[in-house]
Structures are given as C-alpha cells and as structure tokens.
Amino acid sequence: MIDLSRAGHGSVKSGLRHREQPIEAHQRRRRLWLIARRTVFGAAVVSVAVHLIIALGASIMTLRFGGGGDAGGDVNAVEFAVMTSEEFLAAGGGEASAAPPAAPSISITETLAIEAPTADTTIALDPQVTDAELDFGAGDSDEVDGELSELGGGGGGASFFGLEAQGERFAYIVDFSSSMTFEGRIERLRHEVSRSLQGLRSSSEFIVIPYSDGAILFDRPPRWREATERNVARVTDRLSDRRPEGGTKPLEAFAVAFRLKPPPDAIYFMTDGAFIEENVPEVIQRLNSRDEIPIHCILFGSASSATQDAAIMRDMKLIADQSGGRFTRVRDR
C-alpha cells in the first residue's frame, strides 16, 4: 500500500523548495546589483578626484609659465613694476622698458615730479634725419672772452668752450631758443660743436641734444653715435639747417640724456638766458642722483637784465658744483 501521508509530506517539501529557489535567485540578483552600484559609485568618485587633481595641476602650470602663443611654444610670464614719477626719481631712473602706447610729453611740476621719457614720448623730432644716414655705435669757474678755446679732446676726452672732460661718451645739451639769434651766438655755438666733435677719437661716442621749448631729437629713439667723420658731418649739418626758436626749457633734454644706456661720462650744458622752467638745478640734481655724471656748464653772453643775469649765473654754477663739473662764461663779441 502507498503511504499517503508520506507522499503528501514529500509533495509539500517539494513545493517549498520550488518556492525558495526564486527567492534565493532574487536575493542573489539584488546583492549583485548592490555590489555593482557601489563599484560604479566608487569609480565615479575616483574619476572626479583624478580630474580635479589634473585640473589643479594644469592651473598651477598655467599660472607659472603662461599659455603658448601662435607658434605653440611656452612663454615665461613677465612681471611689470609700476612706479610713480616720485618713485622713479628716488630710484635714480630705470632701465628702458618695452614701448607702451604713445604718451604725451613729460611735464615739469612745482613738486619736481619729472619722469624721463620713453622711446615713444612725444618730443620735438628732426624730420630730416633718417637712421640710414647715420653710423650708430652701440665746480670750478672759468671765463672765456672773445675767441673760442682750442680743443684738447684727442686723447680719450673732449673739450667744449675750453672745458675739458674725460671719458668716451659725451652728451651736448645746447640752447636753440630764439635768443640765440642775437650777437651771432648760434653761429659760434655751431662752430664750437663742430670743433669739439671733430676733436673726439673715432672710438668715442656722442649725442647732441638741442633744446628750446623741449628736447629736439635727431634719432628715434635717442642713442649714442660713434664719432666717425660721417656722423659728425651729419649732426653738424642738422645743426646748421635748424633755426633757433622758442623758449629756454632744458629739463626734457636732461631727462633724455640721463636715460641713455650706458650713461654719459660727462655732459656739456650750454645756455644763454634765464630758464622758463622752475627749480632747474634741483630737478637736474635728482635726475643725476644715481650716476652722478659731471655736468660742465657754459653761460653764453648776458641776460636781458642784471637780475636775470645774476640768477642764471647762480643756477649754472650750482648745477656744475652739485655734479662735480665746471662752469665757464663766454662773452659776446
């Protein structure tokens, strides 16, 4: 006989096993899904962290070295220092920088805040001269009456209106104001400049900076010229072609001279009248505070009044004394 109770019991157990199998399969699938989700989440977190690190590193590299140009190369970052006119004077000037957009002429104020002009400063330029015409190279008191002195600059120095200077680089700052037309002064000045330049050794360098209402530049930008026959002839021709006009404002010419690199070994400064600008000796002394270049001063003729004459003589002697230069006066014939 068949044991129905056992058969029924087996059927029940078999049914239970069939019911448990889908549950276990579901649980396994859920566990696998949870594991997969955690794995994906972890991978996403790692990916985000890696990308953040890469981005941070790229930012640091960009800040340190700058971006590439059109050619694709890396370019070192450049820092620019901004200085006020007062800071520039306190530091005694500075190196020439890259040319900024066109700037107005320098101004002289009552506080002596003068800034040396850069290459693109608006200054009176001689329109006749071209670079192709020129060969470029890299407190005592005396008095002179009548005839001009003989030169003595052939041995590594210069002489101008009897004042000797030592060195190899000489700047001539000369008055071309309208008062120089009196008493044949401009002809004597041109003649003495020519004699002085011809007396330089050919290895010496020079620059001539006429001034009236501002500096008159023969070069763009101003630079030293070797004292070759060609350069001396070109400069003397320019001086002969130019008419004296305007007032007596030398500070812009001094700012140009003090910006020359290398600096002058000596500066010759010539004028025939009172300055329109104020505090000229003080401004020149501040501009010259770094290099301490001797400035040899020549007072030409006499001013229109005794008061003006005494004032300009006092200023010229002071400029010479403060710089370690010499002073002389050239009388009208």
CB atoms closer than 10 angstroms to residue 257: 26
Task: Report d(CA 212, CA 179) in Å as an integer.
Answer: 10
Are 217 and 124 within 8 A, CB to CB?
yes
Task: Give pLDDT, residue 68.
Answer: 40
Task: Give pLDDT, residue 38.
Answer: 73
Residue type, 211: Y
Token pair for 188? 């004597």
Task: Give pLDDT, residue 215.
Answer: 97
Task: Give pLDDT, residue 220.
Answer: 87
Task: Give pLDDT, residue 302.
Answer: 81
Task: Give pLDDT, residue 58.
Answer: 56
Task: Give pLDDT, residue 147.
Answer: 39
For residue 166, give the nearest of 300, 268, 291 by alpha carbon.
Answer: 268
Pairing state of beta strands 266-271 and 295-300? parallel
The CATH class for the domain spanning 106-330 reads alpha beta
**pLDDT of the chain, 333 residues: tens digit per residue:** 445 455 455 554 555 455 556 566 667 777 776 676 676 666 666 676 766 777 666 555 444 434 444 434 443 433 434 444 444 444 444 433 333 333 333 344 333 444 444 433 334 444 444 443 434 344 444 444 433 444 333 457 999 999 999 999 999 999 999 999 998 999 999 999 999 999 999 999 999 999 999 999 999 899 999 999 999 999 999 999 999 999 999 999 999 999 999 999 999 999 998 899 999 999 999 999 999 999 999 999 887 788 888 999 999 999 999 999 999 999 887
Are 283 and 114 within 8 A, CB to CB?
yes
Q: Is 63 helix (H, G, I), strand (E, B) or coil?
A: helix
Q: What angle do CA 313, 318, 320 make, to 5 degrees?
A: 100
Q: Is 41 helix (H, G, I), strand (E, B) or coil?
A: helix
User: What single DSSP character describes residue 92?
Assistant: T
